[in-house]
Amino acid sequence: MASNKKYWKSVEELNEDSSIVAKLRQNEFVEDLPTDEFLGDKETLESSSTSRRDFLKYVGFTTAAASLAACEGPVVKSIPYVVKPDDVTPGIADYYATSMANGEDFANILVKVREGRPIKIEPNKLAKTNGSTNARVQASVLSLYDNNRLKGPKAKGEAISWNTFDKELTAELSKLKASGEAIVFLTGTHASPSTQKIIQDFTALYGNVDHITYDAVSESGALDAFEAMYGERALPDYDFSKADVIVSIGADFLADWQGGGFEVGYAKGRVPNHGKMSRHVQFESNMTLTGGNSDKRYMVKPSEQAQILLNIYNALTGNGGAKTTSVDAGIQKVVKQLKAAGSKAVVVTGLQDKNAQLITLAINKAIQSEVVNVSSPRYIRSGDDAKISQLLASMKAGKVGALFMYDTNPAYTLSGFAEALEKVKLSVAFAMTEDETASMSKYAAAIPHYLESWGDVNIQKGQFGLVQPTIKPLFDTRQFQDTILKWIGSSQSYYDYVKANWNTSVLKGTSWNQALHDGVHMNTSTEELTVNEVNIDSAAAALVSSIKGSDLELSLYTKVSLGFGQMANNPWLQELPDPITRTTWDNYLLISRVDAEAKGLTNWTVANGALNGDKVNVTVNGVTVKDVPVYIQPGQAPGSVGLALGYGRVKGVNANMKVGVDAYPFYQNFNTHQPVSIEKVGGVHEFACVQLQHTIMGRENEITKETTLADFVSKPKEEWNAKAHVSQDHQLVEIDNVDLWEKFDDTIGTKFNMSIDLATCTGCAACVIACHAENNVPVVGKHEIRVSRDMHWLRIDRYYSSDMTVEKGKEEGIYGSKGFFEAQEDPSDDPEVTFQPVMCQHCDHAPCETVCPVAATSHGRQGQNQMAYNRCIGTRYCANNCPYKVRRFNWFKYFDNNEFDFNLNNDLGRMVLNPDVVVRSRGVMEKCSLCIQMTQATILKAKKEGRPVKDGEFETACANACSTGAIVFGDVNDNESKVAHIKEDDRTFHLLEFVGTKPNVFYQLDVRNTNEA
Amino acid sequence: MGHYEAPIREPIIVGDKTWHDVTVDVAAPVEGKANKSWWIAFIIALTAMLWGFGAIAYTIGTGIGVWGLNNKINWAWDITNFVWWVGIGHAGTLISAVLLLFRQKWRMGINRSAEAMTIFAVFQAGLFPLIHMGRIWNGFYTLPIPNQLGSLWVNFNSPLLWDVFAISTYLTVSVVFWWTGLLPDFAMIRDRATKPFQKKIYSLVSFGWSGRAKDWERFEEVSLVLAGLATPLVLSVHTIVSFDFATSVIPGWHSTVYPPYFVAGAVFSGFAMVQTLLLIMRKVSNLEGYITRVHIENMNKVILVTGGIVTVAYLSEFFVAWYTGSSYEDFTYLSWGAATGPYWWAFWALIICNAVIPQLLWVKKIRTNYTWTFIIAIFINIGMWFERFDIIVINLSRGHLPSTWTQFSPTFVDIGIFLGTLGFFFVLFLLYARAFPVIAQAEVKSILKSSGDNYKRERDNPNAVKPIPTEPKKIVKEAKSDVQADDRANSLLESIGTFDIKTQQPDDLKKVKGIGPVMEKTLNQIGIYSFDQVSKMTKKEYDLLDSITDSFPGRAQRDDWAGQANKLKS
């Protein structure tokens, strides 16, 4: 409604002709402002109260304010959920069960997903077997965020769209179909029933199709042997927990042998139970993780291993014809023990030879070994050497029209492949990175990481696993299977395909949703095993004739870190110290001290303590790799050298990951054992080792403890696990009874303790990577590791025994002298090996806590020694005063720093960060927190649910990752808890107990079964 | 104070000084101009200091990682330098406080500089705990100041915190003590000052000293009180520094002998540094009359005693390391393991410099000899640095767990910062030597009549003829004896011919390239005026000329004056 109201401004308006009103229409003010009055008159201006100083103040203030206001605040990218997804609660992690199967590592896993980002891999405890995660599986989550991933399909190096890709490829395929040229699928072992079916579908459509599986490091010998004897191309399963006697001839079964995963069963037999534990004898040339864990290790050259196997076979079966070896006495003892153990024994071998594997199978069959399970074999290796050789030949002959490569990088791993590939008209690499093969192929089809994929896997007969995506594909990638489906004209997605396939052939009426939830599905098969008669004698004869010794023999091996080398661009794995050599970012020629001296090769330390080594040129059958660094390895069999595969990648990896030498050229005819010659060349190699002193310096009973089974069973605890004593009032008293401080009552509430069982710890280092992932531990690079600045919160110390013992020193009369200590520093040529994981010991009387001037590290009510990063000023006094040297200092800013160009230097790589753990800034100390973020979450959860925390609910990343259960974590105030029980065990001891730090981490001593009878 | 002193005591002040001489001698460096050697020393020190500051800035900007430290050896040069500088800082207070209480008069000649050295050394020392922090910007957390977090407080258990208090207390007391002693001397300079600016400055710093009896009375009282306060500090500071190590659990650090041994070592190194500085200063600042054989010998005796304590401590540590036969002990810094291990050189540097070489001081001739004293003092300075290096680095490099054994080597930043503190120290000391009365002249005057050699002499033999008081020496370059120069000028003129200024017209020698107006004047003074004379010059004459003029040697020959003159002549 319009208003007729009139508003008066002044009474003047009553007067219609008021000049004031007229003037106001034009002017703002009635009177002119008296500007002249205060500006024109100098004198008034000067006498005004606003002085020149005031003016300057105002100018100064406004300038400062204006410039401050001009400063731009940092732009923080955070995108709120507009519509919150139902299943995402910020701050609450989701877990998805999935499976990893990349041709090398197969595991049923749980993936921790925070706010849509997968950040950690955990073992899926629902899986009966293969639920364990090794270091590579743990680290694989970082490969998802690999900056070098293919971000879309490429043709001859140029990015193209999937439409173009499909158009061109279908055109090519129809041409091929018309011409009838051979199409070959070359894949790694995927053990995926659905993928297998898709390829069959494809074959049905296109006809001349061959599918060849290829394992970079082949288990073809074992597969051939098993196939010959049991009619199925698979690998037998071994349950070492059932074994009383384990004899391994070159089989590194605690690491990657036949796909790994055997440590779980093995560890069960390594704890004395009712006075019994397994006896493990290892014959090997390289010092392996398995050899390091064995009770008795014999150093033999590779060529001798076959003879040893034969001799054992002959002795067991009563055949004659044993040739002498260097370890005959050992073989006799082993045979006696094998015979005594009967079906509770097992013989395994790592020899890559069908005959050797046949003999092993025959031995185990002869003794009716319960350890070997042939009825549900494993499918995690399926490569066939013969077929690969054929493929290479036909490729070279130009007989291959198209080659589709998936999950494999033969241009890197297979010598001769690169040349052969050039002769193939159509080559398509389905790859995650532009690796050696993808960059050579005509088409590189970007495939997603397994954490972005659907799929299935049949790891073992009757054991199925599902692969489900945990994040939307980060890049423009498409699964290999989806591509094939498209090519065969199917409109189905691979997800539908898998689901349909499972519903028809796997689930047998059970729920798909349940299977997807569990990630695993058991399907007990009732198939009868067929046993073929194989002529073992002829195999033995063939084996004998194949033995060719040489002066120096090379054993190629894979490391628990890089394995085949697929994840060479994974900084966590590159920085993971080798459990044996404790060296990072490298491979090197392992050589015995004897051979090194004979050839004038040395390792030496430089002023900052770092290790340097000579270099050699290594030649195998005319193939030479230049400038291979030499590492003198205690326990390396004289006459043998070792070299790790998986290094020396050049394509698809960052510049700072191009480390080590490529040993694949030596892997000729898929034989890990090769005659070799080495020649010293000039130059010095700089190693990056995290441990530089290898022996325990006679401090066994204070650092690690070990006893023999016999002593453990028959002698009182004081003799093999005596408490530390200190002098008080001139009397020796147990350390527990001496205390400078008054003890506060810590029996109320939760008190965390951690137990580490040295008997079951194999040193596999999965815990190290798990800790890396959980706690946002930065990668610092080769140089920083070299100058002893590793950041690992958890390390696995490895000690070799020395020939100089206290007894020997006393005998020789040099005990306590300079010469004695010097001799102790040298590891034995044939050492016993001890592994000891060390993280912050969370001392109740922590030396670090008393010395911090600002109380940045202090004791928690629950027993943890805590770090308040915000409070830390970085005096590093705590690290100096830590007897365990577990504190880690941020010497630099390790994130967003081009000097440290690893995953924390790019937005993609930072996605792996655990939001529950702060990224530490430069200048602060950090260390193991006993995963306080996990324990607090557990407590809060229980509190919300109004119940006490159950035993087993408390976890740390390391304990969770430990497949052998060597690390146990829990509340020691809960009398029912596992850790409380273990604490009362006779094997319990504390690291450096005599210092009186009263740690909350304790160890269980190692027991060695030295029983030779 | 009586004026009698037993004749058997050697005079402390030599050179027939009168009270006025003392004033003039002490004021001379302040009032005069700096000479060339001072400037050279200052520029070198300043360069080193700036380099060090650059290295510090780099460290703070990039991270402690630019040093050679690692996760096992978390301290090395930083704390070595810290303890070294703190140790050096011990002599000053000992001289000024302890010797004051013991009424040792010889302290008066040296206490001022020793205290200055203390303060400057503590500055250097204080730098290291600051810059060795990973986050220096949060360094104030070490101060017990109230904060918004209420209960968040410093950790009074930590020896590092004790250090904060010990060092700051020590610095404060030392500065106050030093300044109190300076008041009458500043006043003396103020009263002599002619330039108004100088007068203003010195009246400010002398706090209105009037020289009344009441002033002196208070001065004496305050000195005594401060001496009483400072004396326990001499013992406490290095005891607390030693707690950094002794209260830890690290083999080699965890040692009950540390506190007394550290104090002795500190005094040992402090006196060595006093010797080093004063032996230079007595020459440069013409203080030979005040810093005499008595001072040097007495300080050497202190060095012998404290060096002996230190050596005994070494032997006992070494004995323990050997006697226990313990593996941990074998790798401590005084053990066979250290003597033959990777740090053997550091071990032997320590033993030779600290335990062996100082034993030479048992010989009277050596301990009263300035040169020998200087050399030995330098060795002790080096040896004491190595002692701290050994304690820190060797012990940390061989800890409890052999798996953690490693070594340390310094980076250019470590070295740069150490050199920088040396530079900073000398910059401060050189400025001090130019601006402060470097001898406590008021106190020295109080003993002049008892310990001055002329007074002693007169007292013993009152009939002797009084020597004529000499003019105080001026710090200017001595003029060269003209006699020799004249001889040379004559022989020069002999070979090139003379020139009679009265009869002949002199040439404009400036036309020769290389001869400027100054050189022309010089040549004229010698008797060279004509191109003809210059053209006759050969190598021999050039050399003669150089030896006379003493400037731009070889220039005449280089510019070929003779050849040029030959052309100009025609």
C-beta contacts of B151-156 below 8 A and 24+ residues apart:
B152/A855, B152/A871, B153/A855, B154/A853, B154/A854, B154/A855, B155/A850, B155/A852, B155/A853, B155/A854, B155/A855
What mean pLDDT value characterizes chain A? 90
Residue of B nearest to A824 (CA): B327
Return the closest-CA partner of residue B409 out of A788, A876, A604.
A788
Question: Does residue A922 belong to the interface with chain B, where contact is any CB pair within 8 Å?
Answer: yes
Interface test with B, best of A608, A740, A925, A995 (most B CBs within 10 A): A608
Question: Does residue B118 belong to the interface with chain A, where contact is any CB pair within 8 Å?
Answer: no
Q: Which pLDDT tens digit goes with each residue over A482-512?
A: 999 999 888 899 999 999 999 998 888 889 9
d(CA A454, CA B492): 105
CB A525 within 8 A of CB A376: yes
d(CA A323, CA A641): 24
**Are B157 and A851 in contact (CB < 8 Å)?**
yes
- C-alpha distance from B177 to closest chain A C-alpha (Å): 29
**Are B63 and A880 in contact (CB < 8 Å)?**
no
Residue A263, Cα to own-chain centre: how many angstroms?
15
Question: Does residue A510 belong to the interface with chain B, where contact is any CB pair within 8 Å?
Answer: no
pLDDT on residue B479 = 43
A941 Ramachandran zone, left/alpha/beta (phi>0; psi -120 to 50)? alpha
Regarding predicted confidence, which is higher, B482 or B52? B52
d(CA A95, CA B158): 44
**Are B74 and A847 in contact (CB < 8 Å)?**
no
Return the number of other C-beta atoms located less than 10 Å from residue A85's C-beta.
Answer: 9
User: Where is A404: in which H helix or E strand?
Assistant: strand A400-406
- C-alpha distance from B320 to closest chain A C-alpha (Å): 12
Chain B residues with CB inside 8 Å of A702's CB? 400
Count how many Cα atoms sit within 13 Å of the Cα of residue B436 in the half-sphere of its side chain.
Answer: 21
Alpha-carbon torsion angle B124, B130, B131, B132, nearest 10: 110
pLDDT on residue B106 = 86
Question: Does residue B146 belong to the interface with chain A, where contact is any CB pair within 8 Å?
Answer: no
Q: How confident is the model at residue A411 (pLDDT cuts 50, 70, 90)?
A: very high
Interface test with A, best of B64, B245, B249 (most A CBs within 10 A): B249
pLDDT at residue A15 greater than cutoff 80:
no
Mention every residue, 6+ apart, whose C-beta is less than 8 A from residue A264.
A129, A132, A241, A963, A964
**Are A699 and B402 in contact (CB < 8 Å)?**
yes
pLDDT on residue B471 = 55
pTM of the model: 0.85
Share of chain A above pLDDT 70, in %: 97
Q: How confident is the model at residue B478 (pLDDT cuts 50, 70, 90)?
A: very low
* CA pseudo-torsion sign A266, A272, A278, A281: positive
Question: Does residue A869 belong to the interface with chain B, where contact is any CB pair within 8 Å?
Answer: no
- C-alpha distance from A683 to closest chain B C-alpha (Å): 22
Burial of B293 (0-12, 13-18, 19+ CB in 10 A): middle
> Which of A609, A795, A888 has its CB closest to that of B406?
A609
Question: Does residue A818 belong to the interface with chain B, where contact is any CB pair within 8 Å?
Answer: yes
Regarding predicted confidence, which is higher, A814 or A166? A166
Cα separations in angstroms, A79 against A84, A86, A96, A115, A530: 12, 17, 24, 12, 60
Return the closest-CA partner of residue A997 out of A683, A749, A740, A813.
A740
Q: How confident is the model at residue B1 (pLDDT cuts 50, 70, 90)?
A: very low
Cα separations in angstroms, A984 against A701, A736, A962, A975, A990: 19, 14, 22, 11, 12
By DSSP bridging, strand A677-686 and strand A673-675 are: unpaired
Question: Does residue A692 belong to the interface with chain B, where contact is any CB pair within 8 Å?
Answer: yes
Alpha-carbon torsion angle A635, A641, A644, A647, nearest 10: 130
Burial of A175 (0-12, 13-18, 19+ CB in 10 A): middle
**For A556, phi and psi rounded to 5 degrees?**
-85, 140
Q: How confident is the model at residue A710 (pLDDT cuts 50, 70, 90)?
A: very high
Instruction: Find the mean pLDDT for residues A1001-1012.
Output: 92
Chain A residues with CB inside 8 Å of B331's CB? 821
**Are B134 and A872 in contact (CB < 8 Å)?**
yes
Q: How confident is the model at residue A624 (pLDDT cuts 50, 70, 90)?
A: very high
What mean pLDDT value characterizes chain B? 86
The question of ipTM being above 0.85 is answered as yes
- C-alpha distance from A833 to closest chain B C-alpha (Å): 13
Return the number of other C-beta atoms located less than 10 Å from residue A513's C-beta.
Answer: 8
Residue of B nearest to A996 (CA): B249
The one-letter amino acid at B564: Q
Q: Which pLDDT tens digit goes with each residue over A633-667?
A: 999 999 999 999 999 999 889 989 999 999 999 99
d(CA A847, CA A858): 10
By DSSP bridging, strand A245-249 and strand A345-349 are: parallel
Question: Does residue A926 belong to the interface with chain B, where contact is any CB pair within 8 Å?
Answer: no
**Are B74 and A789 in contact (CB < 8 Å)?**
no
CB A904 within 8 A of CB A895: yes
pLDDT on residue B402 = 93
Burial of A47 (0-12, 13-18, 19+ CB in 10 A): exposed
pLDDT on residue B403 = 93
Instruction: Find the mean pLDDT for residues A47-71.
Output: 83
- Which residues 741-800 on chain A approach chain B with CB closer than 8 angstroms? 784, 787-790, 795, 797-799
- C-alpha distance from B70 to closest chain A C-alpha (Å): 5
d(CA B88, CA B103): 23
Alpha-carbon torsion angle A559, A565, A567, A570, nearest 10: 70
By DSSP bridging, strand A731-734 and strand A640-644 are: unpaired
Mention every residue, 6+ apart, whose C-beta is less than 8 A from residue A796.
A577, A579, A761, A763, A765, A767, A768, A835, A836, A837, A838
Helix residue ranges per DSSP H, B139-212: 159-192, 196-205
* CA pseudo-torsion sign A707, A710, A711, A713: positive
The one-letter amino acid at B373: T
**For A702, phi and psi rounded to 5 degrees?**
-110, -25
pLDDT on residue B122 = 92
The one-letter amino acid at A613: G
Number of residues written out for chain A: 1013
Cα angle B338, B339, B344; round to 5: 85
pLDDT at residue A263 greater than cutoff 70:
yes
Interface test with B, best of A696, A877, A991 (most B CBs within 10 A): A877
Report how many Cβ contacts below 8 Å link chain A to chain B: 198
pLDDT on residue B475 = 47
d(CA A755, CA A766): 17
Question: Does residue A871 belong to the interface with chain B, where contact is any CB pair within 8 Å?
Answer: yes
pLDDT on residue B570 = 66
pLDDT at residue A40 greater than cutoff 70:
no
pLDDT at residue A798 greater than cutoff 80:
yes
> Which of B155, B248, B340 has its CB closest to that of A881?
B248
Chain B residues with CB inside 8 Å of A893's CB? 63
Chain A residues with CB inside 8 Å of B64's CB? 874, 876, 889, 891, 923
Chain A residues with CB inside 8 Å of B404's CB? 691, 884-885
- Which residues 288-327 on chain B approach chain A with CB closer than 8 angstroms? 322, 325, 327
CB A523 within 8 A of CB A607: no
Regarding predicted confidence, which is higher, B388 or A47? B388
**Are A891 and B407 in contact (CB < 8 Å)?**
no
pLDDT on residue A197 = 92
Chain A residues with CB inside 8 Å of B74's CB? 876-877, 879-880, 889
Domains of chain B by start residue, with CATH? 19-144+153-454 (1.20.1630.10), 472-569 (no CATH)
Question: Does residue A387 belong to the interface with chain B, where contact is any CB pair within 8 Å?
Answer: no
* CA pseudo-torsion sign A115, A119, A120, A124: positive
> Which of A696, A789, A847 has its CB closest to that of B249?
A847
Chain B residues with CB inside 8 Å of A922's CB? 63, 134-135
Give the 3-state secondary structure of residue A924: coil
Q: How confident is the model at residue B484 (pLDDT cuts 50, 70, 90)?
A: low
pLDDT on residue B39 = 92
CB A970 within 8 A of CB A948: no
- C-alpha distance from A270 to closest chain B C-alpha (Å): 25
**Are A883 and B62 in contact (CB < 8 Å)?**
no
Q: How confident is the model at residue B547 (pLDDT cuts 50, 70, 90)?
A: confident
Question: Does residue B360 belong to the interface with chain A, where contact is any CB pair within 8 Å?
Answer: no
- Which residues 73-102 on chain A approach chain B with CB closer than 8 angstroms? none
Residue of A nearest to B245 (CA): A881
Return the closest-CA partner of residue A407 out of A354, A351, A448, A440.
A448
**Are B405 and A784 in contact (CB < 8 Å)?**
no
Share of chain B above pLDDT 70, in %: 94
**Are B400 and A884 in contact (CB < 8 Å)?**
yes
- Which residues 425-484 on chain B approach chain A with CB closer than 8 angstroms? none
d(CA B441, CA B438): 8
Question: Does residue B69 belong to the interface with chain A, where contact is any CB pair within 8 Å?
Answer: yes
pLDDT on residue A290 = 94
pLDDT on residue B465 = 61
Query: A645: which 2 tokens?
Result: 């595969």
By DSSP bridging, strand A833-838 and strand A583-584 are: unpaired
d(CA A303, CA A294): 21
**For A741, phi and psi rounded to 5 degrees?**
-110, 160
pLDDT on residue A45 = 64
